[in-house]
């Protein structure tokens, strides 16, 4: 880990841009477990909206991700990668469910048809 006041000096070289994601949240115990959702959709028309992910382990424990602050754009056969976080870590996932919402975006409600998806733990990439 890095000291909170020194992370920029250690992670950002002077000549290249860098994105940094922290494993923290605003709720006790203040840790966040990040996953990368890699999704390919099948809809013929472009869809814009938000994805919420829910994962369940083999013992029945369930956690739901935080809603992303920016809408994603989904086009037919185009991959979209979304960073999503959970406030609890589940080891052996048995079920993944997605909720697609247009939230406050104007327009009719539509379904998002998933062709392929992959959920990868960034905290534990060996999973």
Task: Name the domain count of the chain.
Answer: 1
**pLDDT at 29 (0 to 100):** 62
User: Is 4 inside any structural domain?
Assistant: no
- pLDDT, one tens digit per residue, over 72-92 is 899 999 999 998 888 888 888
Closest of 56, 73, 74, 54 to residue 64, by C-alpha: 54
CATH of the domain at 101: 2.60.60.20
pLDDT of residue 7: 63
Q: Is 19 left (phi over 0), alpha (psi -120 to 50) or beta?
A: beta
Q: Is residue 74 part of a domain?
A: yes
Question: Which residues partner with 62 through β-bridges?
Answer: 56
Domain that holds residue 83: 33-121
8 SS3 class:
helix
pLDDT of 41-60, one tens digit each? 998 888 888 889 999 999 99
Residue 9 lies in a domain: no
How confident is residue 3, by pLDDT bands cut at 50, 70 and 90? low
The answer, yes or no, to whether residue 117 has pLDDT greater than 60, is: yes
**Model confidence, pTM:** 0.70
Q: Residue count of the chain, please give it.
A: 127
Domain-embedded: residue 98: yes
Q: Does some domain include residue 69?
A: yes
């Amino acid at each position: 880990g890095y000291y909170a006041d020194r992370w920029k000096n250690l992670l950002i070289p002077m000549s290249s841009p860098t994105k940094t994601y922290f494993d923290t949240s605003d709720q006790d115990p203040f840790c966040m477990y990040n996953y990368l959702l890699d999704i390919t959709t099948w809809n013929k028309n472009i869809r814009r909206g938000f994805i919420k992910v829910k994962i369940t382990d083999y013992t029945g424990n369930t956690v739901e991700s935080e809603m992303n602050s920016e809408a994603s754009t989904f086009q037919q056969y185009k991959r979209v990668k979304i960073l999503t976080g959970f406030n609890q870590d589940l080891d052996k996932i048995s079920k993944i469910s997605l909720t697609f919402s247009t939230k406050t975006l104007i327009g009719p409600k539509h379904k998002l048809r998933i062709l392929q998806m992959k959920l990868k733990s960034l905290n534990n990439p060996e999973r």
